[in-house]
Amino acid sequence: FLNRTSFCLLCCRSANKHKPWIETEYQGIVMENDNTVLLNPPLFALDKDAPLHYAGEICGFRVHNGPTGSSSVQFEAVVLDRSTGEGLIRSKEPLDCESQREHSFTIQAYDCGEGPDGANSKKSHKATVHVRVNDVNEFSPVFVERRYEASVPEGRLFDRIVRVEALDADCSPQYSQICFYDIITPNVPFVIDNDGNIKNTEPLDSKRQRVHTFWVTAFDCGKNRAQADAQVVVTVKPSCKPGWIGWSKRVEYTPGSGSIPLFPSLHLETCEETVWNIQATVELQTGHIGKGCDRDSYSDRSVRRLCGAVRGEVDLLPPPSPAANWTSALPTLPSSDSSLVFSFNGSTHVAVVPNSVATAVSGDHFTLQLWMRRGGINTQPPTNQARGNRREEETIVCSTVKNDDSFSHYSLSVHGCRLSLFYWPDVSAARPVKFLWKLEQVCDSEWHHLSLSVQFPSVTLYVDGVTFDPALIHDNGAIPNPAPRQRLVIGACWVTGSVYVGGYRGLLSGVTVRPGSVEPHSVVECLYACREGLDFGDLETLGSGMKVHVNPSQSVLVLEGDDIESFNRAVQQVTYRNSLRFATPGVRPLKLTTSLRCFNEESCLTLRQLEGYLVVLQPDAPQISLSGVGPHLARPAPEFEGPRGVPLFPELRIVCSLSHAVNTAAQGMEGGALMSDAVAHTLDGCEVQPLGEELNPEREELLVDMDALRERGLEIINTTAYIAITGAESISVYEDVLRSVRYRLAKGSARFERRFRLSCSEMNGRYTSNELTLEVNFLHSLDSLYHPSHLLASQQQFLHPSHHSGELSGHTLPNPHRNSVVPGAATVIIMVCVGFLVVMVILGVFRIRSIHRRGEGARGGSKEDSGQWDDSALTIIVNPMESYESRMGISADTEGEGEEDEEVVESPDDANDDQRIIIKKEGRDGNPRRY
């Protein structure tokens, strides 16, 4: 027995010679709701020791960790048939595709060994198993949002109004994808595609239905429907028209308001069109106001004084006069200010300045200033210019000046849109130099001010107060030498004899030259810079990417940006400013031009140009009030004959105020009221004019303190018809100057009455004061006074027919010394006065009797004796203050009281006790006369 057993063991040990064999790789699929893995290829283990018992059988499979080292714990492998080696892989627990879709691990087969105890078993190599978990449609679609909203303009069909979106939590493409959407609300004008895009099927009408509400659902590819449907709300907006909204065609400006926004509620509507650049240009046209824009309304000389300009300029185009006759042949045009505008036609209109004036402005340091407008009225091209030929330069000023033993030459010309200064410091030695500027202002047919400061070799040009740098050119071409003769010409350039070339076509005004140092920039800017224009409110409020540009004359403002909201805020910050207190009223045309750039240039919006106007309202007119004078000034005649005369307006007061409407409703008062505020003003002229006949220079004159005028920079025109004091100065200065105006008479030429009128103005005569009228009375003294009976007896003997009693009546004063010898002239005056008084006495008698009769009728005869006339001891003398007192408001009789027309005044005690003065009271029309 023992030997048999040993033999069997030896045979079995020698029977298990081979290892089991399996495939090297397996692909497996398992469903989420199953644990059996379907392998490809199927799991079979083979052993070459078969059909031996144990050694050729497969006892099991072992599962090892995969590359990740974690998948083996979820799977196991079992043997289904030991003899065939068939096996099965299954999961130990349910699998979730959403958490892990693929698993990898290795398996190894082993045989049963050499006996039932599995001794000396052999293992196969390791094979890789890849298991994919197949998805089960266990989840339904879910919408990203429960409510979708959109707004669209009416009347259009859109490719997409809004897009809805749903998601599915399944892991496979089959069950995780949304296959289609559906609108479950019936009868709505919308459709939805498989991607969730909703569009309208017909144009929407906001009037018929403003808001559309409907529901949509979603299905995945496993035909699972969404757990909850989504709501879609579409709001229909009224039709959108791209353009500016809030444009006001008329903008009003009240003078004195400073800066006001032009477009406070303006905003741009692009109708959801995507734009990446916006540019808006605002243009303010002020060319119709005087010479271009609202500048100071004072005269040029007054403005120069206010701005601190250096004096000494020489007017090359003065108003025609006997002293300045070189401008008499030039045609003139009306101007809105006080300046004189001269017209040049390019051929016959030339002004040759006399050598005496040209010599005063010689030198290589000077400032040339002028107002220029190319073109103009009644200008024709030169007749010698052939059609198609290039137009020659137009010369504005051409000057050849003698400097000791040499000549210098310069000329200012325009050609197209170029301005050039041709300067030749020495025509016999140095080369000419040409300074050139290219300016739009030269050829825009508008008024512009040019100020050329020459301090050779430095030249500075100011156009409307703005500096422009030149391009310096050495002109080496063939240039004819100027004739070595001093000559200054306006409107052309002199060649020889009466031949002129380069005629200027246009308008000129205020052409002046001031020799010496050049004008400072601050002064030129003050003189000619516009006081009105476009501006931007607050640069700090500009958004990112916004740009603002304003041209030097502040008539064009350009905004540029890429964000609509920032652009709208910037447009609302565009303002109009006017620094003048009394702005020129009128209309300023206003334009707004907009250009848009879009990503799709073909469908980009195009906006039309907007046109409107700015209306500058009439400013509150200042009231210039003259008071404290007259209306009468009575002084003894010898005072007027003194060396200094008599001051006419010693207590003159000038007050300037503004009257404006005040709303009193807020104060509990009904209606409105006018308030007057005193303001500090600057007058620019006052005039003293004798009324009636002009002053006789042989026996009367008006005196003014010339030192005070020169000290304050004022100018005076003193003629026999008027005295005009001009220049911009304060009210206090004009008060001091006018208080010093004196009236002086020559010895023995005193009259009995002279009337003067005083008036003042500001803003170049735009606002005038009241007219203050002063009557000057001369008090005459007589050496003796005769009794009326003696005078009446000899009236015909002394009365001379050449004297006018009407002129001399009521202006003689009796002398208390009776026995003095009366000179011939005084006797004649006395006789004329006595004759006039006799007539007045007779008229007085009839007047008193008529009053007495009326009094008796009214009082029933209560005063019977009041009408008796007692002339037994009546002495009548002339009242020297008759004209003065009668015009001081002494009335003839009171209303309804029956008082007499004559008032009896007792004479002083040192005079004759029986003398009485009868004063005749006359009415007077106090209304001033205008001239």
Structure tokens at 913: 């006790």
Task: State which fold the 622-658+680-779 domain adopts.
Answer: Immunoglobulin-like (2.60.40)
Lowest-pLDDT choice from 31-45, 379-393, 525-539, 617-631: 379-393
pLDDT, residue 7, reads 42
Residue 809 pLDDT > 60, yes or no? no
Higher pLDDT, 352 or 456: 352
Structure tokens at 721: 């018809």
Are 297 and 584 contacting, i.e. CB atoms less than 8 angstroms apart?
yes
Decide: helix, strand or coil at residue 834. Answer: helix
DSSP 390: P
Decide: helix, strand or coil at residue 737. Answer: helix
Residue 920 pLDDT > 70, yes or no? no
pLDDT digits (tens, 9 = 90+) for 291-337: 777 776 666 667 777 777 777 788 889 888 888 888 988 998 877 66
- Single out the residue of 864, 893, 788, 872 nearest to residue 831, CA to CA: 788
DSSP 224: P
User: What DSSP string runs through 575-597?
Assistant: EEEE--TTPPPEEEEEEEEEEEE
What does the pLDDT average to over 236-253?
Answer: 88
How many Cβ atoms from other residues are within 10 Å of residue 852's Cβ?
Answer: 19
Instruction: List C-alpha distances in Å: 339 to 46, 281, 290, 514.
Output: 126, 34, 10, 18
* pLDDT band at residue 575 under the 50/70/90 scheme: very high
Rounded to an integer, what distance in angstroms lies between the CA atom of residue 688 and that of residue 698? 19
Structure tokens at 745: 């008479």
Q: In sequence order, which ranges of 496-593 are alpha helices (DSSP H)?
A: 521-528, 564-571
Query: Using omega within 30 degrees of 0 as the cis cutoff, is the peptide bond preceding 480 cis?
Result: no
What does the pLDDT average to over 340-344?
Answer: 90
Q: In sequence order, which ranges of 764-912 are alpha helices (DSSP H)?
A: 788-793, 795-798, 805-808, 824-859, 882-886
Residue 880 pLDDT > 80, yes or no? no
Residue tagged 């931007």 (tokens): 536
CATH number of the domain located at residue range(s) 300-376+393-527 in this protein? 2.60.120.200
**In CATH, which of 2.40.160.10, 2.60.40.60, 3.40.50.970, 3.40.50.20 is domain 25-134?**
2.60.40.60
Cα torsion 438, 440, 444, 448 to 10°: value is: -90
Residue tagged 């008529």 (tokens): 850
Beta 86-91 vs 314-315: how paired, if at all?
unpaired
Q: What is the mean pLDDT of the chain?
A: 76
Are 557 and 534 contacting, i.e. CB atoms less than 8 angstroms apart?
yes
pLDDT, residue 584, reads 84
Residue 863 pLDDT > 50, yes or no? no
Residue 819 pLDDT > 50, yes or no? no
* pLDDT band at residue 235 under the 50/70/90 scheme: very high
pLDDT, residue 10, reads 46
Q: Which residues contact 812 (CB under 8 A, 6 or more apart)?
A: 780, 782, 829, 830, 833, 878, 880
pTM: 0.54
pLDDT digits (tens, 9 = 90+) for 249-263: 999 999 888 899 999
Decide: helix, strand or coil at residue 733. Answer: helix
Structure tokens at 132: 């994919």
Are 507 and 376 contacting, i.e. CB atoms less than 8 angstroms apart?
yes
Q: Do domains 25-134 and 300-376+393-527 have the same CATH topology?
A: no
Are 234 and 190 contacting, i.e. CB atoms less than 8 angstroms apart?
yes
Lowest-pLDDT choice from 16-30, 336-350, 717-731: 336-350
* Most confident among 206-215, 654-663, 742-751, 919-928 (mean pLDDT): 206-215
- Single out the residue of 366, 481, 493, 358 nearest to residue 427, CA to CA: 481
* pLDDT band at residue 480 under the 50/70/90 scheme: low
| In the chain, domain spans | 25-134, 142-237, 243-286+530-616, 300-376+393-527, 622-658+680-779
Rounded to an integer, what distance in angstroms lies between the CA atom of residue 575 and that of residue 258? 10
Rounded to an integer, what distance in angstroms lies between the CA atom of residue 26 and that of residue 42? 8
322-326, Cβ contacts within 8 angstroms, sequence gap of 24 or more? 326/351, 326/352, 326/353, 326/354
Top-tier CATH class for 142-237: mainly beta
pLDDT, residue 37, reads 87
* pLDDT band at residue 877 under the 50/70/90 scheme: very low
pLDDT, residue 145, reads 94
Lowest-pLDDT choice from 610-614, 767-771, 872-876: 872-876
CATH number of the domain located at residue range(s) 243-286+530-616 in this protein? 2.60.40.680
